[in-house]
A and B are shown apart, each in its own frame.
Chain A
Amino acid sequence: MNDFPWLTIVVVLPISAGSLIFFLPHRGNKVIRWYTICICIIELLLITYTFGYHFQLDDPLIQLTENYKWIHFFDFYWRLGIDGISIGPILLTGFITTLATLAARPVTRDSRLFHFLMLAMYSGQIGPFSSQDLLLFFIMWELELIPVYLLLSIWGGKKRLYSATKFILYTAGASVFLLIGVLGIGLYGSNEPTLNFETSANQSYPVALEIIFYIGFFIAFAVKSPIIPLHTWLPDTHGEAHYSTCMLLAGILLKMGAYGVVRINMQLLPHAHSIFSPWLIIVGTIQIIYAASTSPGQRNLKKRIAYSSVSHMGFIIIGIGSINDTGLNGAILQIISHGFIGAALFFLAGTSYDRIRLVYLEEMGGMAIAIPKIFTTFSILSMASLALPGMSGFVAELIIFFGILTSQKYLLITKIVITFVMAIGMILTPIYSLSMLRQMFYGYKLFNAPNSYFFDSGPRELFVSLSILLPVIAIGIYPDFVFSLSVDKVEAILSNFFIDSFP
């Protein structure tokens, strides 16, 4: 049964089914919507089935591997496979993209192209997570940029062209570094180019070269993650994009950067990583504080949420930088957890924007009476975002705290300072998220507009927000759901470090 190309089907199905949209009969948007949602659900079921039946949790090796030679003359393979680190993000992708497609039902303009792009995104996101070949990783990485650019520049807000251009320039500029790194690793040493992750993982490089590679890859992933000071594309993009696009951006694309750091920087370049990890931690700490203190100054609701996700990405960077078991597990948990929470917050911000048509926070107010259900879910998810216990964010951040604390790499005084500053972020988070809630919902306001009657969220919107909420609470109460996926692989990655760092 293992010969069956499950992963190839998983990767290729959405985009190939998506291209069939153009051949559907012209019967209005309804057909297209239903078709897209069906494809998404089938894909999600397929992913769960594959992982449920063909993936052994206790095996730290790469599983479900597929290896087809694609281009002969420079040894380029279609090489797929998943392991404990990538299984979580793939499931997250399936889940969030399906919900984003469901959330995008109000989109009627050019819905044929829109839904095709959503499905293309689906493939483009699963691709990098499941590829086991450096060049394939790069190609998939680039593939998913184009749909985002189009989604942003066609269905965005008023300043959409500016944001789309900014987005594409930033990410394409970063891709140059990624390409340099990929080619550098591929062409180093042997006569034949080696692009396989597994063979390159066992290879060692001169330290100077490794550092250069590391910086190259890191810049590429830092733009995507984003890590300060390369983050300014994110608020603009999020502020302008349609909320379904925002869900994808916040839920999955940002996580791709963090995944890349774990997958390539940690796994392939361990020496350089142990050299750079103190800097990573410092940058992460600064990022938490910096983004959390920028956030209250934002007038635009979506930009405020965008800065909150920048702040939360700081935790992931710290978790990756504290080279130990606990910290890395925490980082992976935070990847998943923030994927849910960020996506849900953008979804709710978008749905409330649909109703009040106001962008700036100080113009809003007193919406709690008109839309109580959105108020409830928004409150719960803001609480999740400020790491309330019982929600996934708390477990992730707590474990990252423990990770930095038990890390053997740093001195006590550094640990104290880092922990202290990280914890200040904990005070700043409620300030921006609760004042956001207060400005939006609390208080009272007479809506002078003649037809100021709002519909509360309907069953579809309620379904989307609840189905994101459930895993958030489930992980918060029983975090082993995620840990059981990643524990073994994390240990394998870290054992690599300890062999190298203590020769």
Chain B
Amino acid sequence: MEYTYQYSWIIPFIPLPTPMLIGVGLLLFPTAIKNLRRMWVFPSVLLLSIVMIFSAHIFIQQINNSSIYLSVWSWTINNDFSLEFGYLIDPLTSLMLILITTVGIMVLIYSDNYMSHDQGYLRFFAYMSFSNTSMLGLVTSSNLIQIYFFWELVGMCSYLLIGFWFTRPIAATACQKAFVTNRVGDFGLLLGILGFYWITGSLEFRDLFEIFNNVVDNNEVDFLFVTLCACLLFAGAVAKSAQFPLHVWLPDAMEGPTPISALIHAATMVAAGIFLVARLLPLFIVIPFIMNLIAFIGIITLLLGATLALAQKDIKKGLAYSTMSQLGYMMLALGMGSYRAALFHLITHAYSKALLFLGSGSIIHSMETIVGYSPDKSQNMVLMGGLRKHVPITKTAFLLGTLSLCGIPPLACFWSKDEILSDSWLYSPIFAIIACSTAGLTAFYMFRIYLLTFEGHLNLQFQTYSGKKNSSFYSISLWGKEGQKVIKKNVTLLTLLTMNNNERASFFSKKTYRIDSNLRSMMRPFITISHFGTKNTFSYPQESDNTMLFPMLVLVLFTLFIGFIGIPFFNQFNQEAVDLDILSKWLNPAINLLHPNPNTSVDLYEFISNATFSVSIAFFGILIASFLYKPVYSSLQNLNFFNSFVKSIPKKIKILGEKLLNGIYDWSYNRGYIDVFYAICLTKGIRGLAQLTHFFDKRIIDGITNGVGIASFFVGEGIKYVGGGRISSYLLVYISYVLIFLLIYFLFSFNL
């Protein structure tokens, strides 16, 4: 059994040959490699499967006896200090290993089909395998420098993958934004690492924790400095996990191909921040301030993410904000000190969200053949609708993912989210109220996405009906013809949607030409299938291929059953709930602040009451969403109830409500004005600084040099003029000086 541990250093290196071979091959023998194109998916999947088997083996051993295995090698020889590389296998690592490999394999299989028509197919697989490699390296690392090493590599992979379609200007800016934002986090991470190195003199986790505890116990170090360092370390996690001040990159990151959004920007890489905080929790737990900060950032993020997700038109951006909100939940759980709940939610959310993203990829894939390859169109929920009939399997999978994320009982996310919510009541009621209401918001926005996408009729058809009249291009409501009637009736509740459409229309009328030209130009490099099939003929979206459906189905299974690893099994008879669940057993040495004695705290009654509460909140959210976004013609019976409900409200409240809705919509649609604020403050600030220093450099520092040059030139010219070689001028100067001298002499002599 020891062998598994001994050889587990190989884990990050197993998937490495694929990116290296593809990369070198593409540089040196491009044609030969490109001929083998589809072949390359097999080694990638195969190698990752080997890792999966390996980590499954470790996982089983960890369940049997959770031991921690550590091994290090020195990286640099230096007398003063040595950098070490090593690997650390503990429950947290094995959990992340399983997660990364399973989701990774599914996404690799999926993207074989998704990317099959893309010219960058091989490049995509190289990037993807490399990101898997660095992710595996990140979770197995045993010290902070190694974490930093892979942290940056993962960030680079994310940069490359977001900018995968580099001909799109939006993707180009998005990938730069992602990298720079992450670099701000890395800046904090590096400074934090250096600070802790200075405090403890060690970089290896377990030594670090031990020494640090001693140091803090003995009050040997300035507490302010320690807090500062911990905050800086946390900044790294904030950037990577898209928490509040540094979340701006995540929605833009959706410019990358959809499988990437599933793997990196939902399941693995963004979880790295959570992983880091979980890994360093023994360190943070000593400093109460930082724990409160973590919880606070978490609660801000979960609320912000949920509100921003309310009015997104782009299906992937909606999901991205939802990811951000769910990461906020995990951060909150970590800040509250319930380690187990955070990791549980990490697992369940990863599978559910990967499923949702793969589902949205499948939708986009089927829409693309009709509307063309612009993300503005193929990902636009305004143009979707009624896909239920055309893509039934995707619809089922997506629905299950949605339900799971909303927290509906038998599905995965329910168990973990419920745990976080019930823990939050123990922590602070205010936080708990925010967290619970956000659970309702989650249900609302997820069902909004679902209903807009799958229910009703394909809105694209309305677009083609009115295709000749440019003015009314997008003015038809999502709700169809009957919908317009409804709009007149109850404007209050429909503001969200109508605004949506108006915005759309104005956007298109301004920029139609530009987008079109863009599209046409982008066709050439990438696309082999002809687009705009809808110009004349009428076509419906098709269900995706089996290669794409299979991973989704596997993830559906995960979503259905992964929750059971954390379900507490109750022993009714002696009223003493015994934790038999795998997760608790597995994370045995984990920290739990809120339940000092886990055996007594969970009891059935409490559990059921909590669960009913959270489920009822979720259902409330779903109900509101279906009121607002359920297509009218399919549920006319609701309309009467609706109208009576609306009429019963007094007019003043109506107007107020309208204003409120408008405000929320504006806030959400403009991404909370945070991006604008950053653009004005930081981007312009840096540009201004660059201009200023450039000016200073050119005019002042260089100006002095050039000035000296010019001055010496004039002096030289002057001397040349004076020394022109005319005897008469020499004589003139000579005589005049003699005369002056004589004059002075005489003046003095007379004075004497």
Question: CB within 8 Å of B: which residues of A?
Answer: 166, 169-170, 228-229, 231-232, 290, 293-298, 324-326, 329, 366, 368-369, 373, 376-377, 379, 383, 388-390, 394-395, 398-399, 401-402, 405-406, 412, 415-416, 419-420, 423-424, 426-428, 430-431, 434-435, 438, 441-444, 446, 462, 466, 478-480, 483-484, 487, 491
Contacts and interface: CB of A to CB of B under 8 A. Distances in A.
Given A368-B166, A480-B76, A402 B187 contact: no
B437 to A, nearest CB: 36
Give chain B's interface secondary structure class: helix
B166 A441 contact: yes
B187 A427 contact: yes
Contacts of B173: 438
Contact of B690 (A296, A368, A412): A296
B697 A294 contact: yes
Contacts of A478: 75
A483 B78 contact: yes
B294 interface: no
Interface string B669-697: 00000000000000000110111011101
Nearest to B169: A443
A83 to B, nearest CB: 18
A298 B694 contact: yes
B167 A444 contact: yes
B521 to A, nearest CB: 5
B77 A325 contact: no
Given A430-B183, A462-B27, 19 more contacts: A169-B709, A232-B705, A293-B686, A297-B691, A324-B80, A395-B76, A398-B145, A401-B190, A401-B194, A412-B225, A419-B194, A427-B184, A431-B180, A434-B159, A434-B176, A443-B168, A443-B172, A444-B168, A462-B28
A10 to B, nearest CB: 28
Contact of B702 (A232, A383, A466): A232
A424 B232 CA distance: 13
B148 interface: yes
Contacts of B194: 401-402, 405, 419
Given A369-B525, A402-B81, A480-B76, A430 B694 contact: no
A326 B167 contact: no
B160 to A, nearest CB: 8
A211 B709 CA distance: 29
B149 interface: yes
Contacts of B543: none
A416 B76 CA distance: 25
B3 interface: no
Contact of B149 (A389, A420, A441, A466): A389
Interface stretch (B150-158, B310-318, B323-331): B150-158
A424 B176 contact: no
B79 A487 contact: yes
B354 interface: no
A232 B76 contact: no
A398 B525 CA distance: 40
21 contacts: A293-B693, A294-B690, A294-B697, A324-B80, A366-B167, A376-B26, A388-B153, A388-B156, A402-B197, A405-B198, A423-B190, A423-B191, A424-B187, A426-B190, A427-B183, A434-B176, A435-B176, A443-B166, A480-B77, A483-B77, A487-B79
Contact of B701 (A229, A389, A443): A229
Give chain A's interface secondary structure class: helix
B715 to A, nearest CB: 15
B695 to A, nearest CB: 8
Interface in B612-660: none
B568 interface: no
Contact of A438 (B172, B686, B709): B172
Contacts of B419: none
A240 B81 CA distance: 43
Interface in B70-125: 75-81
A293 B695 CA distance: 11
B518 interface: yes
B694 A442 contact: no
Contacts of B153: 388-390
Interface of B: 26-28, 75-81, 145, 148-150, 152-153, 156, 159-160, 163, 166-169, 171-173, 176, 179-180, 183-184, 186-187, 190-191, 194, 197-198, 225, 518, 521-522, 525, 686-687, 689-691, 693-695, 697, 701-702, 705, 709
A406 B81 contact: yes
A297 B525 CA distance: 32
A332 B67 CA distance: 42
A491 B77 CA distance: 13
A231 B700 CA distance: 12
Nearest to A333: B76
A483 B81 CA distance: 13
A426 B193 CA distance: 15
Nearest to B705: A232
B180 A294 contact: no
Contacts of B78: 325-326, 329, 483, 487
B167 to A, nearest CB: 4
Contacts of A293: 686, 689-690, 693
Nearest to A398: B145
A483 B75 CA distance: 11
Closest 6 CB pairs of A and B: A297-B694, A442-B172, A297-B690, A389-B149, A296-B690, A232-B702
Nearest to A441: B166
A297 B693 CA distance: 8
A398 B697 CA distance: 29
Given A376-B27, A419-B191, A444 B156 contact: no
Given A376-B27, A388-B152, A438 B167 contact: no
A487 B171 CA distance: 45
Nearest to B683: A431
